[in-house]
A and B are shown apart, each in its own frame.
Chain A
């Protein structure tokens, strides 16, 4: 039962353009969402998060948008850089819960 879904296994974007990574969730109790970035042979590293009381959170080139009614969130990277090439994991949790549920990841390729 995949509660967090990243339906695009991969995405290719030209350097300087916008990268949009999507994530859908099924559990309406989720109220906190995180994005992690992972390079090969390394562990995931935290990138940005958003609480369900907000619909947008921005940190530099990275912005996460949350649409609660659609149970959908997206990560925007503008402008995309070759160093952004990595696997991006979407994750979700609920207040009072101890677990964070991860999606399968989307591999982003940024072409120079």
Chain B
């Protein structure tokens, strides 16, 4: 029974398209995150939600919009996809919103924009 699951695992799409990545956690955690792992392999935080409230919004283009319908779900919608958006996107959750809390990650979504 997967703790943090995200779909799809792979996503290949053309420039200019709009796409969504879904994430669900069954751990009962209050906080969820989206991370981006780019070509340099750094894991960079993009967004964090705590009980459906946005608490972290890093310098990310407006084309990226997170949506949290409930505390178990955090989806990521990307408008007008660009080549530079190609990366692996990880969803994660943690028990609390404190930065040092152990995070549980999904398996990642490899997005390729062509």
Contact = CB atoms under 8 A, between A and B. Distances in A.
B111 to A, nearest CB: 14
Interface in A42-58: 42-46, 49, 51
B11 interface: no
A100 B99 contact: yes
Contacts of B108: 41-43
Nearest to B44: A102
B105 A43 contact: yes
B41 A104 contact: yes
B33 to A, nearest CB: 9
A97 interface: yes
Interface in A17-43: 31-32, 34, 36, 41-43
Contact of B99 (A2, A36, A89, A98): A98
B103 A98 contact: no
Contacts of B55: 98
A45 B43 contact: no
A48 to B, nearest CB: 10
Contacts of B103: 44, 46, 100
Contacts of B106: 43
B114 interface: no
A43 B99 contact: no
22 contacts: A34-B100, A42-B108, A43-B92, A43-B105, A43-B107, A43-B108, A46-B104, A49-B100, A51-B100, A93-B99, A93-B100, A94-B99, A95-B100, A97-B98, A98-B50, A99-B48, A100-B99, A100-B100, A100-B103, A102-B42, A102-B44, A104-B42
What 5 pairs across the A-B complex have the smallest Cβ distances? A43-B105, A93-B99, A32-B100, A102-B43, A93-B100
Given A31-B100, A32-B100, A41-B108, 15 more contacts: A36-B105, A42-B107, A42-B108, A43-B90, A43-B105, A43-B107, A43-B108, A44-B103, A97-B99, A98-B50, A99-B45, A99-B56, A100-B99, A103-B42, A104-B41
